[in-house]
A and B are shown apart, each in its own frame.
Chain A
């Protein structure tokens, strides 16, 4: 979902990234920003979710080598991290989560924790995953998001008591669009890299 945040951030040291992450999490936890981001279903899922994941990704800034190695042993080829991410996103897209998160502090905390973990897992896993594992991950998450997006668009009933029907349909359209865009961008990136490595290959010999 926020695949773009993974990698990058070369400009900041790990300490600075973690400080930014903590600042972002503190800001997102303030009642004012929480209410603003949860006022509509669209902002809730497509702005707040990615922002919390971004905080998680920043929090997972390169740690010292020993810790990284220890994590990597439990996360070969980034498989466990991406499995966690796919499962967590599937659970978080159950319509009841949005309603419960708005009215129940415990669920809100669990949702935040899961999203932070998701962002961190994504960053710790994405590069080591390689194209095949990445493709498998996106092959699950992208169609799932599109299916759920279409469900939101097509449902004649409100799926969340806390949100209006037109908001739900808007979220559905945006969820479908952004998931499809993410999938296409990834495919373009892979194709670009394959083309480039093909044309580089003879020169290296």
Chain B
């Protein structure tokens, strides 16, 4: 019976260890939660992939993110989206408004917005431009780009933990979120769509702090 108690205790200890590893000491239960926690603990650099967009000449993602020395809030979209990206669009519209108000009030914090499309088959420059126009995006604040090729796209999605699924009717399902990228092009935080004020305040704070 002592042996049985011992082996039972070992099974429980093993399970506890596994669960504790999986959940980062019982803080998160989902992979998305783990992704957000891991990013906050350890920033993830942007992969060196080629991108371009209607108002952005061909360049690389790190160059675009680091080029102007500001903080960027990134979201992933596809222009035909009628679900999550619509919410993302209106979140970005509201953040854009706040940023334009900041600029009008003379604040010089450099926070910008970047929407990256993952629908390479349909989102060409024209589609992105009309999407930007529909959302009244100000090109000085909010830009739209897409990776040049599928290999670059999958490298980007994998690196930053974006999971895109095919959904019925040619739609996509994805873990839509607000990604805050620091001035060195590293993803430093992932915020939920419902945390737009937090994301904006965090980005402003990062932009203000030197260097």
Contact = CB atoms under 8 A, between A and B. Distances in A.
B194 to A, nearest CB: 10
A95 B30 contact: yes
A182 interface: no
B35 to A, nearest CB: 8
A164 B167 contact: yes
A94 B22 contact: yes
Interface string B131-168: 00000000000000000000000000000010101010
Interface string A31-75: 000000000000000000000000000000000000000000111
A91 B30 contact: no
Contact of A75 (B7, B161, B167, B173): B7
Contacts of A74: 3-4, 6-7
Given A84-B11, A88-B15, A100 B3 contact: no
Contact of B31 (A84, A91, A99): A99
Contacts of B31: 95-96, 99-100, 160-162
A83, A90, A110, most chain B CB atoms within 10 A = A83
Contact of A91 (B8, B19, B32): B19
Contacts of B32: 158, 161
B4, B12, B28, most chain A CB atoms within 10 A = B4
B12 to A, nearest CB: 6
A96, A100, A165, most chain B CB atoms within 10 A = A96
B48 to A, nearest CB: 22
Contact of B4 (A80, A97, A164): A80
Nearest to A89: B15
Nearest to A107: B22
A73 B3 contact: yes
Given A95-B31, A162-B163, 16 more contacts: A75-B7, A77-B4, A84-B11, A90-B15, A90-B19, A94-B23, A94-B29, A95-B29, A96-B22, A96-B23, A96-B34, A99-B30, A99-B31, A158-B175, A159-B29, A161-B30
Interface of A: 73-77, 79-80, 83-84, 87-88, 90-91, 94-97, 99-100, 110, 158-165
26 contacts: A74-B4, A74-B7, A76-B1, A77-B4, A79-B4, A80-B8, A83-B12, A84-B15, A88-B11, A88-B15, A90-B15, A91-B22, A94-B22, A94-B29, A95-B30, A96-B22, A96-B23, A96-B31, A96-B33, A100-B22, A158-B173, A158-B175, A159-B29, A160-B31, A161-B163, A164-B167
Q: 7 closest A-B pairs (Cβ-Cβ)? A: A87-B15, A99-B31, A84-B11, A161-B163, A80-B7, A76-B4, A83-B8
